[in-house]
């Protein structure tokens, strides 16, 4: 297997499986290092006080091995020097520890929250980790416009408005948004689109918008729709439906059948949203449900999201580094990391008693700004809901184990087909994209034993390769990817080695190149120059005579051999999937670069001139070329452009004249 230049196993942040391997070293092999670890911990204990805080245990390279919190730092850290009382996992951790970093907090609850933040940031190999995934989507009803917009939202909640969620997936948000548009006729368009309409758009025609942009509804009428939407999303759906039924009956009594039909359709949308709830959560209000299942050394945590008595979806979470960790502690760690991204609801239902439950409640209450209560249901509807969550957790884990078995089998077949010593733990796939050599971008995607490691993907803006030379582009990508592995004595100009952490200090076991003999030769030349050609298996994947439509990909080996796989081979589909992922990623990066270039302006090159000043100059002169040709006096006449800014622009273009 590939190893780092120093001869140590793969860096821990090169993939979670490497973290597992690092944490799974035997106590016997680590025994010679135990004294060094204990000595480093004792040096730290000497300066600690019995106060709450967070500690980080680091290895010889400064990499974080473990993050922990304590009510009394001095007492907690001193426990690690009692080797006989530590589990094998903790003994391995101590054996690798060479330094510690301490942060003092005001309370133990604050320490608990900081611990979760640091675990998410550093992803230490001895902490339980929640898989790094996309953030959860919300529905946002904005409050920064006279006619609020309803939309899907991810990420930081900076926009002013009401957020409803989390939802389990983008699909569940989209389905709910479609129904809400039919129910409340709220606009979903951007402000610029709204401000430039002179007639209703298609959404008005299909009865999904009330067209406030062209005055088909006045502001008080739209406000009434917004209030209904807020009530519905806050759990008052029954009152909203009763009001719609009353209005429909009145319209029918007045023989206004068109209005009655519209209200009937809105009622159907409300019924659809409520009927799509596969879980009966009425009367629960806002709550999250967590249940844990364990089997064959792996764990699954099933989460249900209940808001306003409605089920907004569920998701299975698969924590890592759970070996030798109590199940209740795993569930507690998962919840704390989960609520780093999601605001906690007032009620959290769990399937077992958690360690330090009162402390967790205090910490989450601090995050939420109100009381948060943990509860283990014992009877009634809540117990039935928990039983359903437990069944889902078991089923999700069984599916996961089946998928893991399939991937492990494919990895073994891959090692056999490509003649590797053992199944690869880290696969890197490379491709580049350009149009006649312009806006060239290279890309790397990473796959591990459990699938794609999207946090390890990387884009390379091609800077040195010229014209339409694919081989030169691939050489540049390889040189930049592996330059930190160049041996210092043979390469005195090599950049200093970075702090161990990501792909810069991790060698892959297998490199797949989207290309044939030419690309493969270019890659091998770079790796030979760096001195790592013998440490990495490199294979080129070239499309067959019909560009891969018949599955006739040709696999090129560095020694000139070629291999094929049967058209219906699962391994072929797996390799095609790896190649297609890098192709998708690099095409997206290339399109983004082209889009950015289209909107770029020559004025962007002027240092110290912001967007507002650029806009003022372009509005006054019309084009960037006219700004370049303008005299200093003309620049000073532009609205919003001061004499100092005008001088800066003029000097930038006339420095040599």
Domain boundaries, the chain: 16-122, 138-275, 287-400, 427-597, 602-654
- Per residue in 567-621, pLDDT tens? 888 899 999 999 999 989 888 877 776 666 555 566 666 777 777 777 777 777 7
Return the pLDDT at 198: 86
- Per residue in 49-101, pLDDT tens? 999 999 999 998 889 999 999 999 999 999 999 998 888 889 999 999 999 99
Q: In angstroms, rounded to a whole number, what is the distance separating the alpha carbons of residues 427 and 443?
A: 14
Q: Are 284 and 308 in contact (CB under 8 A)?
A: no
> Directed axis angle between helix 108-122 and helix 357-368, to 10°?
80
Q: Which fold has domain 16-122?
A: GIY-YIG endonuclease (3.40.1440)
Higher pLDDT among residues 238 and 650, named by residue: 650
Q: In angstroms, rounded to a whole number, what is the distance separating the alpha carbons of residues 616 and 343?
A: 41
SS3 399: helix
pTM: 0.67
Question: Right CATH number for 602-654 from 3.40.800.20, 1.20.1090.10, 1.10.150.20, 3.30.70.1230?
Answer: 1.10.150.20
**Residue 181 CA from chain centroid, whole number:** 28
Confidence bin at 16 (pLDDT 50/70/90): very low
Of 175-189, 411-425, 514-528, least confident by mean pLDDT is 175-189
Q: Give residue for tokens 């691939």.
A: 474
Tokens at 408, concatenated: 């492990």
Q: What is the mean pLDDT of residues 3-7?
A: 34
What is the DSSP pairing of strand 554-556 with strand 562-563? antiparallel
Q: In angstroms, rounded to a whole number, what is the distance separating the alpha carbons of residues 450 and 448?
A: 5
Higher pLDDT among residues 477 and 439, named by residue: 477
User: Tell me: domain 427-597, CATH 3.30.420.340, correct?
Assistant: yes
Higher pLDDT among residues 197 and 251, named by residue: 197
SS3 655: coil
Residue 486 has pLDDT above 80, yes or no: no
Nearest to 175 by CA among 325, 98, 276: 276
Tokens at 308, concatenated: 């306003």
| Mean pLDDT across the chain | 81
Question: Right CATH number for 287-400 from 3.40.50, 3.10.450, 3.30.420, 1.10.20?
Answer: 3.30.420
- How many Cβ atoms sit within 10 Å of the Cβ of residue 221? 12
SS3 content of the chain, % helix, strand, coil (to 5): 45, 15, 35
Helices (H), 418-553: 470-482, 517-530
The set of long-range contacts for 554-562, using a CB threshold of 8 Å and a minimum separation of 24, is 554/516, 555/417, 555/418, 556/516, 556/517, 556/520, 557/419, 558/520, 558/524, 558/533, 560/517
Does residue 504 have a cis bond before it (omega within 30 degrees)? no
Q: For the stretch 112-143, what's the b/e string if a residue is b when 16 or more beta carbons lie within 10 angstroms of its beta carbon?
A: bbbbbebbbebbbbbbbbbeeeeebbbbbbbe
Q: What is the DSSP letter of 184?
A: H
What are residue 176's phi and psi, to 5 degrees?
A: -65, -40
What is the DSSP pairing of strand 427-435 with strand 438-448? antiparallel
- Same fold: 287-400 with 427-597: yes
Q: What is the mean pLDDT of residues 40-57?
A: 93
What are residue 454's phi and psi, to 5 degrees?
A: -65, -25
Q: 435 forms bridges with which residues in the sheet?
A: 438
Q: In angstroms, rounded to a whole number, what is the distance separating the alpha carbons of residues 583 and 428?
A: 13
């Amino acid at each position: 297997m590939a190893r780092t230049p120093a001869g140590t196993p793969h860096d821990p942040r090169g993939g979670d499986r490497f973290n597992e391997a690092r944490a799974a070293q035997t106590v016997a092999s680590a025994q010679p290092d135990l004294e060094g670890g204990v000595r480093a911990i004792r040096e730290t204990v000497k300066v600690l006080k019995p106060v709450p805080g967070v500690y980080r245990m680091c290895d010889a390279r400064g990499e974080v091995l473990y993050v922990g919190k304590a009510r009394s730092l001095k007492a907690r850290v001193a426990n690690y020097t009692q080797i006989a009382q530590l589990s094998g996992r903790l003994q391995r951790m101590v054996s690798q520890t060479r330094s510690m970093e301490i942060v003092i907090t005001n309370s133990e609850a604050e320490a608990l929250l900081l611990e979760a933040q640091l675990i998410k940031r550093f992803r230490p190999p001895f902490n339980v980790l929640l898989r790094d995934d996309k953030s959860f989507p919300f529905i946002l009803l904005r409050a920064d416009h006279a006619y609020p917009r309803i939309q899907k939202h991810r990420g930081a909640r900076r926009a002013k408005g009401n957020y409803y969620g989390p939802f389990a997936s983008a699909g569940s948000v989209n389905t709910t948004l479609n129904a809400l548009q039919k129910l409340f006729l709220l606009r979903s368009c951007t402000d610029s689109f709204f401000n430039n309409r002179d007639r209703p758009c298609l959404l008005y025609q299909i009865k999904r918008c009330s067209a406030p942009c062209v005055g088909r509804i006045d502001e008080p009428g739209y406000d009434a729709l917004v209030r209904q939407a807020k009530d519905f999303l806050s759990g008052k759906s029954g009152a909203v439906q009763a009001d719609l039924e009353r209005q429909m009956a009145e319209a029918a009594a007045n023989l206004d059948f068109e209005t009655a039909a519209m209200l009937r359709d809105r009622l159907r949308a409300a019924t659809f949203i409520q009927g799509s709830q596969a879980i009966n959560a009425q009367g629960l209000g806002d709550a999250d449900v967590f249940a844990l299942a364990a089997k064959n050394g792996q764990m699954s945590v099933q989460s249900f999201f209940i808001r306003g008595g409605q089920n907004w979806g569920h998701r299975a979470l698969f924590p890592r580094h759970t070996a030798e960790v109590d199940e209740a502690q795993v569930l507690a760690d998962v919840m704390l990391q989960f609520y780093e991204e999601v605001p906690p609801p007032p009620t959290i239902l769990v399937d077992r008693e958690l360690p330090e439950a009162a402390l967790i409640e205090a910490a989450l209450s601090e995050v939420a700004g109100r009381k948060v209560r943990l509860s283990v249901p014992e009877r009634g509807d809540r117990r039935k809901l928990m039983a359903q969550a437990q069944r889902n957790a078991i089923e999700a884990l069984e599916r996961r184990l089946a998928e893991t078995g399939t991937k492990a089998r494919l990895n073994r077949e891959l090692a056999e087909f490509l003649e590797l010593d053992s199944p690869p733990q880290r696969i890197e796939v490379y491709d580049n994209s350009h149009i006649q050599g312009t806006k060239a971008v290279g890309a790397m995607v990473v796959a591990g034993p459990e699938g794609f490691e999207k946090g390890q993907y990387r884009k390379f803006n091609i800077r040195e390769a010229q014209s339409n030379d694919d081989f030169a582009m691939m050489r540049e990508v390889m040189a930049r990817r592996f330059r930190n592995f160049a041996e210092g004595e043979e390469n005195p100009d090599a950049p200093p080695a970075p702090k161990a952490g990501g792909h810069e200090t991790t060698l892959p076991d297998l490199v797949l190149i989207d290309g044939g003999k030419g690309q493969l030769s270019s890659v091998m030349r770079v790796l030979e120059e760096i001195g790592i050609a013998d440490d990495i298996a490199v294979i080129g994947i070239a499309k067959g005579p019909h560009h891969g439509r018949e599955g006739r990909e040709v696999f090129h080996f560095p020694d000139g051999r070629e291999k094929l796989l049967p058209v219906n081979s699962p391994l072929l589909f797996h390799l095609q999937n790896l190649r297609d992922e890098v192709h998708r990623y690099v095409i997206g990066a290339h399109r983004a670069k082209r889009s950015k270039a289209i909107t770029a302006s020559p004025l962007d090159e002027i240092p110290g001139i912001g967007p507002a000043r650029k806009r003022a100059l372009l509005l006054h002169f019309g084009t960037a070329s006219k700004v370049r040709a303008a005299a200093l006096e003309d620049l000073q006449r532009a609205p919003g452009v001061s004499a100092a800014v005008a001088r800066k622009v003029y000097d930038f273009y006339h420095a040599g004249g």
